[in-house]
Structure 1
Amino acid sequence: MHKILFRRLIQILLVIWSVGTLTFILTRQLSGDMAYRIAASRYGYDQADSAAAEAVRAELD
C-alpha cells in the first residue's frame, strides 16, 4: 500500500514539475510585446492601445 502511494506521489510531483516547466518555456517563446498582451487581457483587444501598454509597462517596472 505504501509503495503505491509513494509511486503516485512521485508521479504527481513529476507531472507538476513538467507542466510548470513546459508553461514557462512556452510563455518565454511567445513573440510580441508582453505589456500589450497584458493590456489586451485587461481591457479587451478592441480597447488595448499604446497608452494602455505603457501603463502596464509602468506597473511592471
Structure 2
Amino acid sequence: MARKLPHYGKYSYVTFTGKEPTNRLKGEWRLSKSALTVDLTEGEKIPPIKIPQLKPLSASTN
C-alpha cells in the first residue's frame, strides 16, 4: 500500500480493498466559502487588499 499512496496525492480521500490494495473509491472534498478562499470563476469581483501602514519596529540612529 505504501507504494500506491504517493500516486493519489491530489485526492482528499482514497479507499482500498483486498490484499493487493485495489482502489475502491477516491475523491476530493468540496471547498467551502471561507475567508481563505476566493472563487476566480465567472468574473467574480475580488475586493482589493488593504495593507495597513505600520511604524517601523526600531528606528535607525545613524
TM-score range, shorter chain: under 0.3
User: Normalising to structure 1: TM-score of the pair?
Assistant: 0.21
Answer 1 or 2: which has greater strand percent. 2
Answer 1 or 2: which has greater helix percent. 1
Structure label with greater radius of gyration: 2
